[in-house]
């Protein structure tokens, strides 16, 4: 009896594998694979780095038009850095909104300690005022930085994030590019030690932020 049940289960598993193997290509990372392997760890959106990143030594302009020295202003603070742009319909607002929601579940003192820094990859359109207006719709305490694109690009590159300048597409529309990761810097070491992919949800950040604000591994 038990043996037969097992055989049926194996057959079902095989069927699941077959299904996941013959998708049309754009759904390879769907659930069945995770079900078969039986683990969720590999799906965790957080990656703790063996070799943490130094915080970029960059001075940009904040949403008030003031100079903002990233290292100086965020030393000793848990800091999340993301590179994006406001004319971005999907990932940029989703990422910032997810962090904003997660932040609300922290105790007040930790909310105040946390620095969330949005660095624009589209400085021509994202002036301090534009950036300020956009971030206000998400979390007024978030820091928006703009400035020379070359500086932004170099800062991103130092974190392993590749961004290209805004360009015109074939229809003459401006197209910008966002980073695909959020980098979390420890308040203890000021090093960027955890990366979040763009699939990180508000729940993921809500679960991990209490650890990140202490510099602990999520």
Partner 1 sequence: MRRRAALTAGALAAALALTGCSESAADSGSKTAQLSVSSPYMPQPVSADMAAGFLTITNKGGAGDELTSVSSDVAGQVTMHSTTGGAMAEESSFRIPAHGRLEFRSGGNHLMFEQLKRAPKQGQTVSVKLTFAKSGPLTVAMPVKPATYDPSTGH
Residue 175 contacts partner 1 per CB under 8 A: yes
Which H or E element spans position 37? Answer: helix 31-37
User: Do 40 and 54 contact (CB within 8 A), yes or no?
Assistant: no
Q: Which of 59, 94, 113, 191 binds partner 1 (CB under 8 A)?
A: 94
The CB-of-193 to partner 1 minimum distance in angstroms stands at 22
Residues 6+ apart with CB under 8 A from 68: 59, 60, 61, 62, 143, 145
User: Do 120 and 86 contact (CB within 8 A), yes or no?
Assistant: yes
Residue 136's CB is within 10 A of a number of other CB atoms, namely: 13
The pair phi, psi for residue 69, each rounded to 5°, is: -90, 105
Nearest to partner 1 of 79, 86 (CB atom):
86
The CB-of-180 to partner 1 minimum distance in angstroms stands at 5
Site map (CB under 8 A) of partner 1, residues 27-66, x = contact: x---------------------------------------
Nearest to partner 1 of 64, 133 (CB atom):
133
Nearest to partner 1 of 66, 169 (CB atom):
169
**Residue 46 per-residue DSSP state:** E
Nearest to partner 1 of 16, 215 (CB atom):
16
Touching partner 1, residues 6-25 (CB under 8 A): 7-9, 11-12, 14-16, 18-19, 22, 24
- Alpha carbon 73 to its chain centroid, in Å, reads 20
User: Do 70 and 59 contact (CB within 8 A), yes or no?
Assistant: yes
What six digits make up the tokens of 137? 């719709």
Q: Which of 50, 89, 108, 168 binds partner 1 (CB under 8 A)?
A: 89
What six digits make up the tokens of 207? 């679960």
| Residues lying near partner 1 in the complex (CB under 8 A) | 1, 4-5, 7-9, 11-12, 14-16, 18-19, 22, 24, 26-27, 86-87, 89-91, 93-94, 96-98, 101, 133-134, 137-138, 162-164, 169, 171, 173, 175, 177-180, 198-199, 201-203
């Amino acid at each position: 009896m038990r043996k037969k049940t097992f055989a049926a289960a194996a057959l079902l598993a095989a069927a699941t594998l077959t299904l996941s193997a013959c998708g049309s290509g754009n759904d390879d990372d769907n659930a069945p694979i995770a079900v078969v392997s039986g683990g969720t760890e590999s799906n965790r959106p957080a990656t703790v780095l063996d070799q943490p990143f130094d915080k970029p030594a960059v001075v940009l302009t904040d949403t008030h038009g003031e100079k903002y020295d990233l290292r100086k202003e965020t030393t000793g603070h848990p800091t999340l850095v993301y590179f994006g742009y406001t004319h971005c319909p999907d990932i940029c607002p989703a990422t910032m909104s997810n962090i904003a929601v997660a932040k609300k579940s922290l105790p007040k003192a930790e909310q105040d300690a946390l620095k969330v820094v949005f660095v624009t990859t589209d400085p021509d359109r994202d002036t301090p005022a534009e950036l300020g207006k956009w971030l206000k719709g998400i979390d007024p305490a978030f820091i928006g930085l703009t400035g020379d694109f070359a500086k932004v690009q170099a800062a991103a590159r130092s974190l392993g994030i590749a961004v290209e300048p805004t360009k015109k597409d074939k229809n003459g529309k401006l197209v910008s590019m966002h980073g695909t990761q959020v980098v979390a810097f420890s308040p203890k070491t000021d090093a960027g030690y955890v990366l979040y992919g763009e699939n990180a949800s508000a729940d993921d950040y809500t679960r991990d932020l209490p650890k990140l604000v202490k510099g602990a591994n999520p």
